[in-house]
A and B are shown apart, each in its own frame.
Chain A
Amino acid sequence: MAGELKLLGTWVSPFVTRAKLALHIKGLSYENVEEDLGNKSELLVSSNPVYKSVPVLIHSGNPICESSVIVQYINDAFAGVGPSFLPADPYERAVTRFWAVYVEDKVVNQWARVFRVKTDEERAEVMHQTLEAVEVLEGGLKECSGGKGAFFGGDSIGYIDILLGGLVSWVKATESLSGIKLIDTTKTPLLAAWMEHFCELHVAKTILQDVNAVVEYAKALQARMADAAVNN
């Protein structure tokens, strides 16, 4: 399906990284547009009027929003190109989708709250819930991979690997910043192995954000937030 591809995003966003991973796996070329979220482009605002957020994939002028929707779209629209992100069997697809929902609701959305709550006590509680969810996800990885390989997709990466893969640099940055290991080798050995194998892939080496750059970004963000809190 021919047609120009344009991705509106920011280099640091794990959600944008998901879209980039998916595009790269399919071997698709696209124009990468770096947005300044403090000064959003007209194109971004008109393409995503509901959330005004990144990523937005524009295919032949048609916008697709929400990272998980974008990844599925890339899989559907380019079904004949490159590997499929979902298993062929409907039941296995259902199991994959179940765990994708779990990743989004229980891991990612929980973790995102850490950056929003105000007190240390709340932060600790949210982190605790996130870590608990990661431990449950270990079981999900076992179920999805079916013993065929290190990835949720088995011996090759699929939908969930892409969803989680977008977050890897932030997982590593978090460990560097706070010492907290979201993916701990002793507690979740399969996930730890997953992360190692994932990072060795060519696509990961090409696409994932530099961890030090993410650390610096997070520090600057923390400083700005602390400033704002003091001055309010």
Chain B
Amino acid sequence: MEAARGGGEGAELRLLGTWSSPWVIRVKVALGLKGLSYEYVEEVLASKSDLLLKSNPVHKKVPVLIHGGRAVCESVVILQYVDEVWAGASGTPILPSDPYDRATARFWATYVNDTVATWHEMIQCLRVTCLQFFPSWRALFRSTTDEQRTEAFKNVVPVVDTLERALRECSKGKAFFGGDAVGLVDVALGSHLVWISVVDEVVGVRLLDKARFPALAAWAERFLAVDAVKEVMPDVRKVMEQYKGFLAKWIASAGPS
């Protein structure tokens, strides 16, 4: 039996999504509130289905609601569509009917969307910092010979490159990863700057090189100039002493080569 084309209330509903995406959850909640049954299709984002690519050619993203064979994309657009097509269905409308209340709802929905998007970008930056940068840099930190240092340095540079790009995306031209003010990612990464500069000195090369990573170099300067940071950063010479102590200990415990 052919599914009815076009958006009649009885036409077939299909939702393309991924199980953990908050944007997909938005749509599932809305469909649930309206008491609607639908076919759910779990997408694998690493290998998107032809249906997804065809239904959302512009963004190739979930969620996509396919109603009577026609695709509706963008979670907030889907919510409004569901609200309008099934206006008579059970449950309260998703958007209020009063124009002023609708305007209020739309204002805050935009605000939430913008804040959430920013938050997700920040999480991405945090992931690069913690899961890629630190492990990579730690190998440099732990190096006791020049050969080890050269090798480790070579491996950390591409990660710093990723971080440079992450900074540009997160900050959107503003001073910090967090925007105009210092945020979570700034603190997570910036607190290591003293140690980074100490290791730089031993390695003989500056990691956050101004010519290669201008955004990060400028960011580091700005971060270190923040009052709350200046007040707590340890003295670089004392940190250097401590590092030399570690190196000596590691070399000693490695035994004669």
Q: Measuring CB to CB, which residues of chain A are less than 8 angstroms from any residue of chain B?
A: 1, 50, 59, 62, 64-66, 68-70, 72-73, 76-77, 79, 89-91, 93-94, 97-98, 101-102, 113, 116-119, 122, 136, 139-140
Query: How would residues 73 to 108 of chain B score, 1 for a CB under 8 Å from any chain A CB and 0 otherwise?
Result: 110111011001100000000000001101100110
The answer to whether A98 touches B173 (Cβ under 8 A) is no
The answer to whether B214 touches A119 (Cβ under 8 A) is yes
B84 contact set on A, CB distance < 8 A? 90, 93
The answer to whether B172 touches A101 (Cβ under 8 A) is no
Per DSSP, chain B at the interface is: helix
A131 to chain B, nearest CB (A): 16
24 residue pairs from A and B, CB less than 8 Å apart: A1-B99, A64-B100, A64-B107, A65-B107, A66-B106, A66-B110, A69-B110, A72-B102, A72-B103, A73-B100, A73-B102, A76-B103, A79-B99, A93-B84, A94-B72, A94-B80, A94-B81, A97-B74, A97-B77, A97-B81, A98-B72, A98-B74, A101-B77, A116-B172
A62 contact set on B, CB distance < 8 A? 100
B154 contact set on A, CB distance < 8 A? none
Q: Measuring CB to CB, which residues of chain B are less than 8 angstroms from any residue of chain A?
A: 6-7, 58, 67, 70, 72-74, 76-78, 80-81, 84-85, 99-100, 102-103, 106-107, 110-111, 168, 172-174, 214
Rounded to whole angstroms, the CA-CA distance of A76 and B98 in the bound complex is: 8
B6 contact set on A, CB distance < 8 A? 91
Rounded to whole angstroms, the CA-CA distance of A130 and B168 in the bound complex is: 16
Per DSSP, chain A at the interface is: helix
B72 contact set on A, CB distance < 8 A? 91, 94, 98
A136 contact set on B, CB distance < 8 A? 58
Rounded to whole angstroms, the CA-CA distance of A89 and B84 in the bound complex is: 10
The answer to whether B103 touches A69 (Cβ under 8 A) is yes
B55 to chain A, nearest CB (A): 12
Rounded to whole angstroms, the CA-CA distance of A113 and B168 in the bound complex is: 11
- Provided the pairs A73-B102, A122-B168 are in contact, do residues A116 and B74 lie with their beta carbons within 8 angstroms? no
- Provided the pairs A101-B76, A101-B77 are in contact, do residues A66 and B107 lie with their beta carbons within 8 angstroms? yes
Q: Which residue of chain A lies nearest to B58 when distances are taken between CB atoms in the complex?
A: A136
